Chains A and B, each alone.
Chain A
Amino acid sequence: MSPRAACRLERLGFSKVYDFVPGKLAWLAMGWPREGTAAAVSNAGEIARRGTPICALDDRIADVRATVLEAGRDVCIVVSPEGVVQGRLRGRALAETPEATAQQAMELGPTTIRPSERLAPLVERMRRRGVATIVVSDLKGRLVGILYREDAERTLEAARP
């Protein structure tokens, strides 16, 4: 639709017209601001907890564990030099094999969701699968934060009329 609209505007005499090809979906998937009635209820990106510890693929588990403990968190996200999510470290992976690298110990390719994800269907899916947390990453695969189901449930409850 936007290519046709861009062409239409040019034919109406507008000299500088851009077509934002990836569209609204991509903008929202980056976790960027939005307006409209849907914005009355937060989406996944807006309630994801920030400040999740991150580490590089070749970081030592013993060092990662110290960072996680110092942050008062229980998870670390493994990222590429460009910040793209590669894996997740939690539980036994952080406690055992201190000399291993993050790449060796991590859960490869954790499930992620986009910041634009709506909370109601998401909570339903998380409940069905018994999932308490989920990684939120943007359109480019970079970490946004960790969404906790309890936060989403609380948000939905508060939004009830």
Chain B
Amino acid sequence: MPQGIDIDEIRQILAAGAQLVEVLPREEFEEEHLPGAINIPLKQMTEQVTASLDRARPVIVYCWDYQ
């Protein structure tokens, strides 16, 4: 089960080397995103597309808010 993290935890986990993925559509990502994030929209989250991620490192996913 993926672990939920909050605002007090994310920067520490990023500093430890986690990859950051925004799962919103590309237009939203291009308008504004967290530094260092890559964009893999949920609708395109296939094995092929996620092959660019390093499986040895943790991954943090995020969208717009709690929804």
Pick the interface stretch among A31-39, A69-77, A82-90.
Answer: A31-39
Which DSSP category, helix, strand, loop or mixed, fits chain B's interface? loop
Q: Which residues of A contact B61 (CB under 8 A)?
A: 2, 5-6, 9, 17-20
- Docked-complex contact A34 and B34, CB < 8 angstroms: yes
Once bound together, how far apart are the Cα atoms of A15 and B18, in whole Å? 12
A10 — nearest CB in chain B belongs to which residue?
A: B2
Known contacts A3-B2, A19-B2, A26-B7; A14 and B33 CB within 8 A of each other: no
A22 contacts partner chain B, Cβ-Cβ < 8 Å: yes
Q: Are A25 and B6 in contact (CB under 8 A)?
A: no
Pair B13/A18 contact, Cβ less than 8 Å: yes
A20 touches B24 (CB 8 A): no
Interface size on B, residues (CB 8 A): 41
**Contact A20 B60, CB 8 Å, known A5-B21, A13-B55, A26-B7:** yes
**Of residues 1 to 60 in A, which have CB atoms within 8 Å of B's CB atoms?**
1-10, 12-28, 30, 32-39
Q: From the candidates A8, A15, A30, A36, name the one contacting B33 in the complex (CB within 8 A).
A: A36
A32 to B36, CA, bound (A): 13
Cβ of B37 to closest chain A Cβ, rounded Å: 8
- Further contacts, 11 of them, CB under 8 A, given A24-B32, A32-B11, A37-B30: A9-B45, A13-B55, A18-B58, A19-B2, A20-B10, A21-B4, A21-B5, A22-B7, A24-B33, A36-B33, A38-B32
13 A-B pairs in the complex with CB atoms less than 8 angstroms apart? A2-B23, A2-B63, A3-B2, A9-B50, A18-B4, A18-B13, A19-B3, A20-B6, A21-B4, A24-B32, A32-B34, A34-B32, A38-B32
